[in-house]
Structure 1
Amino acid sequence: MSTRVAVIGSINADLSVNVERHPLPGETVLGSGGELSPGGKGGNQALASARQGAETIMIGAIGTDPYADVATRLLREAGVDLTYVTTNPGPTGLAIVAVDPGGENNIIVVPGANATLTPQHIAAADEALATCAVAVVQGEIPVETIETASRILEPLGVRQILNLAPVLNLSSEVLRRSDPLVVNEHEAAQILLETQNRVITPATTEAEYGQKLATALVESGITSVVVTLGSAGAALATTEYAIHINSPKVEAIDTTGAGDAFVGALAASLAAGDNLQIACQRAVRVAAHSVTGHGAQTSYPSTTETLPR
């Protein structure tokens, strides 16, 4: 049985700066840093998957500028298969990340080459996709490409993880094929509002609210849902149960890419044969480890590193 993971998604270079506080509209603040590092939700998730031991294939697009080498450097070092990463004329995707002393970030994403990833690129990779146990897709590539990927993956029997970040207007069939759908609490609430005109009243705790959101999404026909809750861990719901998974308590330095660390680790664990609950338990530990370092991909742990408990 295959244990390979395919990640279909965005590849960026991240420009990271540190600020004492995030600026108000129209305000200028001084920053420090200015380092370039690899990023993009797809690239992040592929690296997290590979560092958690999964043989990983990346399907995406980069540009012809110098940022392309920056964006793919750690993927190459980790042995991610980049055969299906296409190079298209123009700029590579770019994310501008501002981080405050508490580790909270603001991010501006310029799609660049990610917007040129077409359904034809997915179709060209169908033989490689057929060798995978799990495929991950996120919301930083064109809608028609996500829709095509979902249709191609279904008859191949590949388990689909949909990380709908940002939230896009996808068909209900794509949502129902996801197992799991992974979103944060804000994205979960937005999906419920836009697809069902349904509002879930916040609960006493983040854990309870996350479970209510996950359960409501499962009730809409989705096989399984994971709602990530940052330092509060994650809520998981299927047609059989809804539970909360605590996150280890750590001192956060930079939360950039923590959600992607979670998704990549989740994919690797599911591909290795773990059930969804065990996979989520490992994923929250990987995500917790990631916030103790700077940057996104540069903070992702390998299987040789000790994860927080």
Structure 2
Amino acid sequence: MGNIAVVGSINLDIVNRVQQYPIPGQTIKSGGTEYNYGGKGANQAVAAARSGGHVMMAGAVGSDSFGGELLAALRQEGIDADLVVRKSGNSGMAFITVDASGQNQIILSEGANGDVVTEDVQPLWAA
């Protein structure tokens, strides 16, 4: 497999498992919470790296503590994350609720992903 460039989202996924979804105004207990590294772009980069490709990731994470964790997770997978920029503010986050039947509901807070501009990814064309 050759060189692969991925431009895309990088998120912290917070997953809660529930028996059933709450009705409006109701509070329910979660059966557990998981913190996973994700985002459509990051997931593609990880899959390509695990398949043997040399992967360069371009995108953004926030200046929050999650940004450093997300960068470290990409690098741990062997992904070249030198083109992932740090933006002021929050990293992207996805709040995912999964019920007992496996159905999910997701609320996306795009964070730094929404602040990526052409100049952030321009170095890919020079690489």
Indicate whether 1:95 and 2:94 are aligned.
yes
Question: 1:300: which partner in 2?
Answer: none
Cα displacement string for residues 204-236 of structure 1 (whole angstroms, at most 9, x for unaligned residues): xxxxxxxxxxxxxxxxxxxxxxxxxxxxxxxxx
Check conservation: 1:19, 1:30, Cα contact below 8 A.
yes
State how 1:162-173 maps to structure 2 within 5 Å: none
Letter in structure 2 aligned against 1:8 = V
Letter in structure 2 aligned against 1:23 = P
Distance in 2 (CA, whole Å) between partners of 1:124 and 1:26 is: 48
Check conservation: 2:5, 2:124, Cα contact below 8 A.
no
Distance in 1 (CA, whole Å) between partners of 2:122 and 2:111 is: 21
Which has more helix, going by share of residues? 1
Distance in 2 (CA, whole Å) between partners of 1:81 and 1:24 is: 44
State how 1:1-309 maps to structure 2 within 5 Å: 3-128=2-127
Distance in 2 (CA, whole Å) between partners of 1:72 and 1:52 is: 20
Q: Secondary structure at the match of 1:125?
A: helix
User: How far did residue 75 of structure 1 move?
Assistant: 1.5
Distance in 2 (CA, whole Å) between partners of 1:46 and 1:118 is: 20
Q: Secondary structure at the match of 2:31?
A: strand
Q: Tell me, which stretches of 5 or more residues in structure 1 are unaligned?
A: 129-309
CA 86–114 in structure 1, closer or farther in 2 if over 3 Å, else same: same
Distance in 2 (CA, whole Å) between partners of 1:41 and 1:7 is: 10
Q: Secondary structure at the match of 2:126?
A: helix
User: How far did residue 65 of structure 1 move?
Assistant: 0.6
Distance in 2 (CA, whole Å) between partners of 1:77 and 1:53 is: 14
Larger Rg computed on CA atoms: 1
Question: 1:149: which partner in 2?
Answer: none
Which has more strand, going by share of residues? 2
Distance in 2 (CA, whole Å) between partners of 1:14 and 1:86 is: 19
User: How far did residue 96 of structure 1 move?
Assistant: 0.6
C-alpha RMSD over aligned residues: 1.6
Distance in 1 (CA, whole Å) between partners of 2:51 and 2:15 is: 25
Letter in structure 2 aligned against 1:58 = M
Higher relative contact order (CA 8 A, sep 6+): 2
Cα displacement string for residues 85-139 of structure 1 (whole angstroms, at most 9, x for unaligned residues): 00011111111111122322111110110011101112232112xxxxxxxxxxx
Distance in 1 (CA, whole Å) between partners of 2:12 and 2:71 is: 8
Distance in 2 (CA, whole Å) between partners of 1:44 and 1:108 is: 18
Structure 2 length normalisation: TM-score?
A: 0.90
Letter in structure 2 aligned against 1:123 = Q
User: How far did residue 79 of structure 1 move?
Assistant: 0.7
Q: Secondary structure at the match of 1:60?
A: strand
User: How far did residue 35 of structure 1 move?
Assistant: 2.6
Distance in 1 (CA, whole Å) between partners of 2:102 and 2:36 is: 17
